[in-house]
């Protein structure tokens, strides 16, 4: 294998919507990367409108231009809208557009300090090896590596390493593993417990028959010897969640940065 290297970096400006590839990113106050999950669609009951609870989310394509502050959404059946996210009137128009699509009142919320992560404690970027994505894609007929990457929705993709290399970046509930990407230091928390989203076609929301069952069977069979079993109450887990030490806030990381395992450390608590 070669040198572990940050091959790709992606953020997801609107929670549950499309990725935005970046060449570099900054670690924000709350641990997330700049522009990652910066926006979230929320209903009147203060619940996220996301692909976990509404598969219609898959039918919306999104594009965000951080420099222009412009967000564009397009429905699969054609209608689109492009707004200035800093313009209150534009935001109101976008919320009306979304409300018509979801057939209920919704609000677009924004958090520029670290976004709206699923894990409020291990709120740092998620990481996976490029070879892992390729291996998992090979478990299914008709699913390409690119599609599997969209299903899994990682932030950091590492090349130059073997499949499941990222399983080296966690231990158990008492011991964690510190690692560095460029100038940014992170602590691996655990293998990410997956929801229903990876089992669906990212473009249509259509369910892939037997996805979870195949995944769990193959994940168990291919679990590498360096993976700690401590977190595997089930085998629908893949990708690493991370903690962000206080001193990492404000640090930058970029495509091409080396990834270095620093060693074990106490589990953040």
Mean pLDDT in the chain?
96
**In the predicted model, is pLDDT for residue 52 greater than 90?**
yes
Collapse the DSSP code of 55 into the 3-class scheme (helix H, G, I; strand E, B; otherwise coil) and give the result.
helix
Asked whether residue 14 carries a pLDDT value surpassing 90, the answer given is yes
Q: Give the mean pLDDT of 135-152.
A: 98
Give the DSSP letter of residue 215. H
Strand runs labelled E in the chain: 5-11, 20-22, 24-26, 39-43, 60-65, 70-75, 80-84, 106-110, 127-129, 156-159, 175-181, 184-193, 237-243, 252-254, 259-266
At 119 the pLDDT is: 86
- The pLDDT of residue 118 is 86
Position 248 scores a pLDDT of 97
Element (H, E) at 96: helix 88-102
| Average pLDDT estimate for 127-138 | 98
**Residue 94: in which H helix or E strand, if any?**
helix 88-102
Q: What is the pLDDT of residue 77?
A: 84
Residue 1 confidence (pLDDT) above 80 = no
Domain ranges of the chain: 5-32+117-266, 39-110
pLDDT band at 78 (very low <50, low <70, confident <90, very high): confident
Largest interatomic CA distance in the chain: 55
C-alpha angle 58/141/126, rounded to 5°?
A: 50
In CATH, the number for domain 5-32+117-266 is 2.40.33
DSSP per position, 121-144: SS-S--EEEHHHHHHHHTTSTT--
pLDDT of residue 191: 98
Residue 182 is predicted with a pLDDT of 92
CB atoms within 10 A of CB 264: 11
3-state DSSP call for residue 38? Answer: coil
> pLDDT for 212-245, tens place per residue?
999 999 999 999 999 999 999 999 999 999 999 9
The percent of residues above 90 in pLDDT, for the chain, comes to 96
CA distance 148 to 253: 24
Token pair listed for 110: 């924004």
pTM: 0.96
- pLDDT digits 0-9 by tens, 148-199: 999 999 999 999 999 999 999 999 999 999 999 999 999 999 999 999 999 9
How sure is the predictor about 120, in pLDDT bands with cuts at 50, 70 and 90?
confident
């Amino acid at each position: 294998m070669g040198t572990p290297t940050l091959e790709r970096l992606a953020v997801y400006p609107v929670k549950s919507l499309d990725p935005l590839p970046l060449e570099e990113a900054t670690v924000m106050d709350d641990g997330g990367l700049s522009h990652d999950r910066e926006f979230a669609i929320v209903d009147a009951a203060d619940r996220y409108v996301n692909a976990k609870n509404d598969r219609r989310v898959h039918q919306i394509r999104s594009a965000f231009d951080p420099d222009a502050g412009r967000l564009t959404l397009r429905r699969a059946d054609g209608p689109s809208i492009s707004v200035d996210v800093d313009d209150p009137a534009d935001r109101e128009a976008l919320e009306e557009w979304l409300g018509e699509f979801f057939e209920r009142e919704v609000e677009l919320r924004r958090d520029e300090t670290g976004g709206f992560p699923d894990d409020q404690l291990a709120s740092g970027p998620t990481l996976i090896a490029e070879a892992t994505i390729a291996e998992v894609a090979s478990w299914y007929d008709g699913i390409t590596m690119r599609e599997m990457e969209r299903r899994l929705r990682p932030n950091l993709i590492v090349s130059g390493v073997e499949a499941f290399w990222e399983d080296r970046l966690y231990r158990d509930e008492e011991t964690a593993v510190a690692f560095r990407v460029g100038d940014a230091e992170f602590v691996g928390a655990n293998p990410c417990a997956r929801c229903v989203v990876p089992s669906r076609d990212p473009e249509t929301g259509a369910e892939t028959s037997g996805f979870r069952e195949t995944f769990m069977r193959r994940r168990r069979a291919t679990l590498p010897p360096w993976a700690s079993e401590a977190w595997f109450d089930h085998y629908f887990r893949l990708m690493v969640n991370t903690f962000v030490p206080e001193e990492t806030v404000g640090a930058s990381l970029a495509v091409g940065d080396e990834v270095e395992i620093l060693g074990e450390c106490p589990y953040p608590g």
